[in-house]
Structure formats: C-alpha cells, structure tokens
Amino acid sequence: MQDVIKGKAYVLGDNIDTDQIIPAHFLMYNPAIPEERKQFGRFALCGVPDAQAGLPQGNIPFVDQTDPSNTSSRFSIVIGGKNFGCGSSREHAPLALAEAGVQAVVAPFYARIFFRNSVNGGYLIPLEFAEGVTHTVQTGDEVEIRLKENVLIECRTGTRRALNPLGEIAPIVEAGGVFEYAKRSGML
C-alpha cells in the first residue's frame, strides 16, 4: 500500500447505492476474464443521476463514454456522501471503481457490505472523515491523501482534513485484501 494517494476527486452526494455504482445489466461481464473485467471500469458510476454526479456542477461523466475502448476514469479519488455503497451486497461495486482507476473512496460512513467488500477484495481503500469534505472539494479538484498522517489535503487551498485511522483493517488493506492477508499471516 502506498502512503500517499494524489489525484483528481469525483464528488458525489448521499446514498449512492451499488446499482448506481455498477448497474445490474452490466453484471453480464465475467470479472475472471481480463478483457471483460475492464468493462466494469468503463461503466462505473454510470447509474448516478446527473443531479448527484459531480456536485455542485452536475453532468460530469466519471468515465468518458465517447470512446468505447476507454475503461478508465481521470478521477482516482471518489468523495462520497453519507451511506456510500448502500443497496445490494454487490461485490462488483468496489471492483468497478477499482477497474476505473479509483484508489480510494472518502465518505463520512459506508454501507457495511460495501466497506467490507472494498477491504476484503483489496479493491480500494475506504476512508472515513468527520468533516464536510463534500462541501468544499469540487469534482476535478486535486486532493492528496496521506495515509500515515490520516489526512486529506485539498491541493487548491491547502486545507487539511482529518481522516479516521484505518484501525484493524490496516493490515488487510496493506496486504491487498483478505486472502493475501491470510496467506501472509500463515492462515492459509
């Protein structure tokens, strides 16, 4: 796990559910087949209504759909609102974000299943904050996450926002998922 994650932020509202993250009709792709796995990235967040995407501007696509071969986003950090990843227990949701190039999601709190799927699969780092980051960071802003310091820095203003420590999930995140952690720990 790298200590610093820096990139463009994609800002969303509250209650972004797993069907908005990867709509059910895209579950026809098989994540075990590398070419099909990429398609999850192409369609990540395509189910988010324009009113919630890219707050406050709206109507900013997460992945540019004009090029059918494009499967990644220019945004590497998603900043979500409350209850991010609610809905079904779709394991494909954090996978879709990761395939699009997302390294971390920052939200005040998550639906438990999205949080666990993100950590267990080693897809991305789910970070939590207590302050209103979604009110100051805008889609397209550069942000920097310093994991050892538990801080998010808004590059435009230099504002530092405290993040909750990863706590007991840190070794699993560092290992790249629960199976890698189990192997390294001698459990498998």
User: What kind and span of H or E run contains 184?
Assistant: helix 178-184
- Those residues whose C-beta lies under 8 Å from the C-beta of residue 27, and which sit 6 or more positions away, are 90, 92
Neighbours of 129 (CB within 10 A): 19
Question: pTM score > 0.85 for this model?
Answer: yes
Mean pLDDT of the chain: 89
pLDDT band with cut points at 50, 70 and 90 for residue 56: very low
Q: Cα separation of 75 and 19, whole Å? A: 20
Across the range 162-167, mean pLDDT stands at: 94
Instruction: Assess whether pLDDT exceeds 60 at residue 113.
Output: yes
The tens digit of pLDDT for each residue in 22-43 reads: 999 899 999 999 999 999 999 9
β-sheet bridge partners, residue 39: none
Predicted pLDDT at 1 = 67
**Paired tokens of 63:** 């992945």
Three-state DSSP class for residue 178: helix
116-128: b (≥16 Cβ within 10 Å) or e: bbbbbbbbbbbbb
Instruction: Assess whether pLDDT exceeds 60 at residue 57.
Output: no
Predicted pLDDT at 88 = 82
Report H helices in 43-169.
Answer: 92-99, 112-121
Q: What is the dihedral of CA 78, 84, 89, 92, to 10 degrees?
A: -10
Predicted pLDDT at 64 = 85
Which domains, and CATH codes, for the chain? 4-184 (3.20.19.10)
